[in-house]
Chains A and B, each alone.
Chain A
Amino acid sequence: MKSTYLTELTKLADSMKIAAKCGLGQSVGNAFKSIVGNFREEIIY
């Protein structure tokens, strides 16, 4: 469940990166994506 949720949120971060109006919105998801990318296990378990 949590894992699907993370995947979905990553997709949202991807959308924000390409669809947000300004640079702030486009970059704000980067930190989150990086954490999930590198520490996925730690977040889930």
Chain B
Amino acid sequence: MINLTINNQSVSVEPGTTVLAAARKLNINIPTLCNHDDLCVAGNCRVCVVEQTGARTLIAACAMPCSDGMDIHTNTLKVRNARKHVIELLLSEHRSDCTKCYKNQNCELQSLANEFAFGDTIFLDLVEDHNYSIDRSSPSFMKDDSKCIRCQRCVRTCDQLQYISAIAVANKGAHQKISSFHNKPMSHVVCTNCGQCVNRCPTGALVEKTYIDQVWDAIYDPEKHVVVQTAPAVRIALGEDLGYDPGERVTGKMVNALKQLGFDSVLDTDFTADLTIMEEGTELLVRLKKALVDGDKKISLPMFTSCSPGWIKFIEHKYPEFLPNLSTCKSPQQMFGALAKTFYAQKRNLDPSKVVSVSIMPCTAKKFEADRPEMRASGYKDVDYVLTTRELAVMIKQAGIDFKNLSDENYDSIMGDSTGAGVIFGATGGVMEAALRTAYEIVTGREVPFKNLNITPVRGMDGVKEATVKIEGCTEDWKFLEGAELKVAIAHGLVNANKIMDMVRKGEANYHFVEIMACPGGCLGGGGQPIPTNAEIRKNRMKAIYSEDEHMVLRKSHLNPEVIAIYKDFLGKPNSKVSHELLHTHYVERDHF
């Protein structure tokens, strides 16, 4: 252990601990900007400088490992002056139009300015000299260089967590900027729209593209019937933006709030998550049969899940030769959209051109997905507007709703029923677990052999998880799978997806089914979730997801009564012709840069 003192208080830490982490242990707050718990050290903003007795210069607390006998002071005059200078210099190049800024009241630069740099400054305002540009090309997020402080959190995120490097630092000194390949618009580069950079940007330089006003317009249009679907991971994170600690389940309050906002019907993406299991599970079993029994060489295995639009765009850019391995199932959001303007409209006797379908997602890539030309199976844009969890919180605040005191309400019907299997889609490993709960039962007629249906090997935060399920006691139809070992793998965060893809490409992997989610932790750590995010917060959200599952009466997708009914009334059976028209899709190859 290493012993040091910070502001005259002693502390012992493990070797390698930074001064910043040691100070946090003592509840001493050192301001930071470029530092982020999920990312490697950058040490470039200098806001975290502290004084070390005997040292020639101040040291960056986020970057400096503790050493024995260090005597650190976090609040000396030198330190205060330096911090004030750093922030004032940043502000001199920053378009500080806070009152009009999307990040107003939720901005790390603003809070630091509030602490250190109020009043007049001696530095000239250089904003006009800089000729900053705003990139609105992506349907998912905007990049406003006039708000950028060049902390490079986004660059590190895109490289370290997502293995994409769609953005990088260009130029030096005063000309430094965050740029894409050849400074192309974000819509034309390898960016997956995952929004992980948005989630970690400390300022308003990267923010989701918001469709709040369009949704209000639709709600207040008497001609329109507005349906809203909520993704599994929204209910366990929305509370964070409305005064709760991470990990609070607010499903019932959220449904109530949506009703109060004026949506005509509040429905659940979990319903189509269950439907996805029926379609995708069947697709997997059919592929296995064709490959194992019919010896069809054209069948592509392993099959990859297709619910995460960030992952879809990643494979389209980076591993296009494996597009046939992707399940053809649309994501639950898009299945819901296609059904909202067909099945739902018919059942409710509505003119589909008057139905507006809105989705609340933990995700910015979903905004891109909804815009894809493939996603118009109903004859209309299947999902009209996608809002993030954060945008929903904004709407709830705009409406003056006292969220904490709302009573719990239930989802409307039809397309509001769900099972625990649908809800765990929100956590990494959840789709796999849900699929196994159903597929195993189809094949053997028995429940998966895991205590309480909890398939623990596929759970947890390991980057790449592997599991093998031995299939025994098959029913007559599935005899060919008797004794087979189903090998599955799960990855979350595209850096981990890349590890799996690399193995698959080299022929080193013999998986049958692989679940991949673009975001760390799965959707619960999505780019549209409340800010901040870190490992601890994601762990709490994960606990909440599994406890939501445990609290459901039904926990297997094939038992969802509305799923059973929709096959009876409308779709026929999984992978039927109607299913293929509405619920399945195809993919395109994209450039590598």
Query: Which residues 51-93 in B have Cβ within 8 Å of A in the complex?
Result: 56-58, 60, 78, 81-82, 85-86
What residues of B have a CB within 8 angstroms of the CB of A15 in the complex? 78, 81-82, 85-86
Query: Any chain A CB within 8 A of the CB of B18?
Result: no
Q: How far is the CB of A13 from chain B (nearest CB, A)?
A: 10
Closest to A12 in B: B85
Closest to B63 in A: A21
Q: How far is the CA of A12 from the CA of B124 in the complex (A)?
A: 14
What residues of A have a CB within 8 angstroms of the CB of B82 in the complex? 15, 18-19
* A-contact bits for B8-46, CB 8 A (1 contact / 0 none): 000000000000000000000000000000000001101
Given contacts A5-B122, A8-B122, contact A17 B85 (CB under 8 A): no
Determine which of A12, A14, A17, A21 lies in contact with B60 in the assembled complex, contact meaning CB atoms within 8 Å. A21
What residues of B have a CB within 8 angstroms of the CB of A11 in the complex? 81, 85
Query: Which residues 1-39 in A have Cβ within 8 Å of B in the complex?
Result: 5, 8-9, 11-12, 14-21, 26
Q: How far is the CB of A45 from chain B (nearest CB, A)?
A: 20
CB distance A19 to B43 under 8 Å? no
CB distance B85 to A19 under 8 Å? yes
Query: Any chain A CB within 8 A of the CB of B49?
Result: yes
Q: How far is the CB of A32 from chain B (nearest CB, A)?
A: 14
* A-contact bits for B460-472, CB 8 A (1 contact / 0 none): 0000000000000
Q: How far is the CA of A26 from the CA of B82 in the complex (A)?
A: 12
Main secondary structure of the interface of A (DSSP, over half): helix
CB distance A17 to B81 under 8 Å? no
CB distance A14 to B81 under 8 Å? yes
Count of chain A to chain B residue pairs whose CB atoms are closer than 8 Å in the complex? 34
CB distance B122 to A19 under 8 Å? no
Q: How far is the CA of A21 from the CA of B58 in the complex (A)?
A: 10
Q: How far is the CA of A45 from the CA of B78 in the complex (A)?
A: 30
Q: How far is the CA of A9 from the CA of B108 in the complex (A)?
A: 26
Given contacts A8-B122, A9-B122, A12-B85, contact A19 B44 (CB under 8 A): no
Given contacts A8-B122, A9-B122, contact A18 B85 (CB under 8 A): no
Q: How far is the CB of B495 from chain A (nearest CB, A)?
A: 27
Q: How far is the CA of A19 from the CA of B77 in the complex (A)?
A: 13
CB distance B81 to A20 under 8 Å? no
CB distance B122 to A17 under 8 Å? no
Given contacts A11-B81, A12-B85, contact A18 B122 (CB under 8 A): no
Q: How far is the CA of A5 from the CA of B122 in the complex (A)?
A: 7
Q: How far is the CB of B74 from chain A (nearest CB, A)?
A: 14
Q: How far is the CB of A12 from chain B (nearest CB, A)?
A: 6
Closest to A17 in B: B57
What residues of B have a CB within 8 angstroms of the CB of A17 in the complex? 57
CB distance A21 to B122 under 8 Å? no
Closest to B55 in A: A18
CB distance B44 to A21 under 8 Å? yes
Q: How far is the CB of B149 from chain A (nearest CB, A)?
A: 15
Closest to B56 in A: A18
Closest to A16 in B: B85
Q: How far is the CA of A33 from the CA of B563 in the complex (A)?
A: 76
Determine which of A12, A18, A26 lies in contact with B78 in the assembled complex, contact meaning CB atoms within 8 Å. A18
* A-contact bits for B115-148, CB 8 A (1 contact / 0 none): 0000000100000000000000000000000000
Q: How far is the CA of A19 from the CA of B45 in the complex (A)?
A: 10
What residues of B have a CB within 8 angstroms of the CB of A20 in the complex? 46, 57
Q: How far is the CB of A33 from chain B (nearest CB, A)?
A: 15
Determine which of A9, A14, A19 lies in contact with B86 in the assembled complex, contact meaning CB atoms within 8 Å. A19
Q: How far is the CB of B570 from chain A (nearest CB, A)?
A: 62
Q: How far is the CA of A14 from the CA of B84 in the complex (A)?
A: 13
Closest to B121 in A: A8
What residues of A have a CB within 8 angstroms of the CB of B49 in the complex? 18-19
Closest to A8 in B: B122
Q: How far is the CA of A14 from the CA of B86 in the complex (A)?
A: 12
What residues of A have a CB within 8 angstroms of the CB of B44 in the complex? 21
Q: How far is the CA of A14 from the CA of B489 in the complex (A)?
A: 55
Q: Which 5 pairs across A and B sit closest by C-beta, in order of nearness? A: A19-B82, A15-B85, A15-B82, A8-B122, A18-B57
What are 22 A-B contacts defined by CB distance under 8 Å?
A: A5-B122, A8-B122, A9-B122, A14-B81, A15-B82, A15-B86, A16-B85, A17-B57, A18-B49, A18-B78, A18-B82, A19-B46, A19-B49, A19-B58, A19-B85, A19-B86, A20-B46, A20-B57, A21-B43, A21-B44, A21-B46, A26-B57
Q: Which residues of A contact B (CB under 8 A)?
A: 5, 8-9, 11-12, 14-21, 26
Given contacts A14-B81, A18-B49, A19-B49, 20 further A-B contacts (CB under 8 A): A5-B122, A8-B122, A9-B122, A11-B81, A11-B85, A12-B85, A15-B78, A15-B81, A15-B82, A15-B85, A17-B57, A18-B56, A18-B78, A19-B46, A19-B58, A19-B86, A20-B46, A20-B57, A21-B44, A21-B60
